[in-house]
Structure 1
C-alpha cells in the first residue's frame, strides 16, 4: 500500500477524503480517441506544469505537442518535462481574443486555478486553497496569429483548453482556424466559478452548434468537498465524419 493510500485511509476514518485537484481522466481513453481521429498535433492551452503532456506521453501518444503556459513558475516545470522531447514545444503565452499584455491572477494551488478572470466566492468557498495570492504580467496572443507558425496544413489538430473560464475568448481568437480543429477538450463549469466564465450549456452549444463537433466523452472534474456536488467537467469532442481516412491519405501525399 502506497503512502497516499495509507493517508487516505487515515483521513477517511475522520470523514475526510484526499483526492487530486482537479480530478484527472485516464490517459489511455483519450489517446484511443486521438488515434481514432488520427491526431498529429495537440495544442495544450493552459499547460500549467506539464501534467497533461506527460499524461499523453505516458499513455502512448507520440504526435507533436505545443504547450502554452504564461506563468513563470509553472512554465519552468513544464520546460523541464518537455526538454528531452523533440516533439514537445513550449510557448510562454496565454491565448485570448486580442493580443496584449495583462495581469493574470495567480492561484494558491500551485497556480492550477490561475485565470485572467476574477474568481467568484463560490469557487473560493469550495476550494479555499485555490484562492488568488497575487498577479503576474503575461503576454496574450490570438491563436490565429500563431497558427501557421505552430502547425502545418497536413496536420490534424486537437485543441485542449484549460483556461479557467476564458475558453470562449480563446476560441474567438482562433478565428477561421477554430473550425479546422479535428477535436477539442474544453473545461467548463456547471455553476459560475469565474466572473464571465463559460458555463456547461454555453460550452456545449458553442462546440456542437458553432464548431460542428460531436460529444465523445465527459470527464469528471472539480467537486465541492463539502457536499459532493460536481462543479466542473471537461467535454471531449471530435469532428465525427466519414472522411478521416481520405484526409489522412491527402495528408500523407502532402508530406511526401
Structure 2
C-alpha cells in the first residue's frame, strides 16, 4: 500500500521540496499551508492522486481541526507527519525586539506544532508511523538576535525527545532534524521582505538547499522500521561554530 505523508508548510522552501521528494519516491502527500494558490499549483503539477491540498493557517486551531476532519476517507491513514511549518521574525536583540513577533513565533513554532501532533498521534500510533520535526542548530547554539526563535526550536528538539520517551514500545519513530544555513525564503521572511539582506547572507557561502533537507527527511523516513534517528544536526561545510562574545570594560 502506498504510504501517506502529512507535510506542513508545503508552499515554499523545505516543505515544498519535501512534497516533490516524497512524491518522487512513490509516496502520497497531504500538503498544507496558508497560500492556497501555491498548494493548487503543486497539486496540479504532481497530480491529485499524489497530492491532497489542505490550505489553512497552522496557527488557526479551528481551521486545522476542520480541515483534518474533512479529509476524504482515502487520505485519513497517515504514516508520517512532517512538522515543517515555522518561521523566524526579526533580528533585533531581546531588549529591542517586537513582542508581537515573539508571540507569532511561539504560536507557529510551538503551539501549532504540538496541537497538530496531538491531533494526529492516535492514527500514527495505530499505524506505527513516524514523526519528523524540523528544529534548527539554533536550538543548541545561541546567537545574537536569535532569542525566542532559538527558544522555540529548543522546544521542538526537547518535545521530540519527550515524544520518543512517551511512545516507547509503540513502534512510532520520532526524529528532530536540526539544519544550519539553508537558502530558502527564511531570511526574507525574517527581515520583513528584505531580499538584499537575504542575498547578502547567503552570498558565497554555498549553503544547503531545501532539496538537501528534503532528501534527508526521505532518508530518515525510509530507514528500516527498527531504526530511529533521535536527532540529526547538519550544516553546510562552509558553516561552523563561532567564538564566545566577551564584553570588556575600559581601564
**TM class, shorter-chain normalised?**
0.3 to 0.5
Structure number with the higher strand fraction is: 1
Specify which structure has the bigger relative contact order, considering alpha-carbon pairs within 8 angstroms and separated by 6 or more residues: 2
TM-score by length of 1: 0.46
TM-score by length of 2: 0.47
Structure number with the higher helix fraction is: 2
